[in-house]
Amino acid sequence: MKVVSLAASLIAFLVLAAPIWAETINQKDYPVQYQVMNSSKKPCTVILRDQAKQDVAINVSRNGSCHPLDKGKIYRGRQNDKKNEIELLIPGDKGKARVEEWHLDGIVDITPRTQ
């Protein structure tokens, strides 16, 4: 009986302690500022512009349902080359942010060409 009680106490402790151990999101880890140029709900796609590279448009998408990002809004993020994704830091309720992973579909040079 003591073993069951001890096991239950241990599980309760782990469940309550898990939020404390959760990794906090550091904005410094997301140094790139991406501006939303265009956004679509179906299919779930977004065209982003890296604020430091104004001549490049980045096409990203997500599977399933999504909330379209606001056109013109700037989000902090980073490119994850291993997963072929852009990770965007999305502000949430009560000051808590979440990270959304967007599949990198393509990068397009949008520099005006002279003839």
More confident residue, 101 or 3: 101
pLDDT over 80 at 3, yes or no: no
pLDDT over 50 at 115, yes or no: yes
pLDDT over 70 at 19, yes or no: no
In a domain, 44, yes or no: yes
Among 4-8, 9-13, 87-91, name the one with the lowest average pLDDT.
9-13
pLDDT number for residue 42:
87
In a domain, 12, yes or no: no
Expressed as residue numbers, the domain containing 69 is 25-109
pLDDT number for residue 7:
55
Instruction: Specify the residue for token string 């949008």.
Output: 110
The pTM score is 0.75
In a domain, 18, yes or no: no
Count CB-CB contacts under 10 A for residue 46: 25
pLDDT over 70 at 74, yes or no: yes
User: Closest Cα to residue 49, out of 114, 111, 115, 113?
Assistant: 111
Contact 32, 48 (CB under 8 A): no
In a domain, 42, yes or no: yes
In a domain, 52, yes or no: yes
Domain count, the chain: 1
In a domain, 19, yes or no: no
In a domain, 97, yes or no: yes
pLDDT number for residue 53:
93
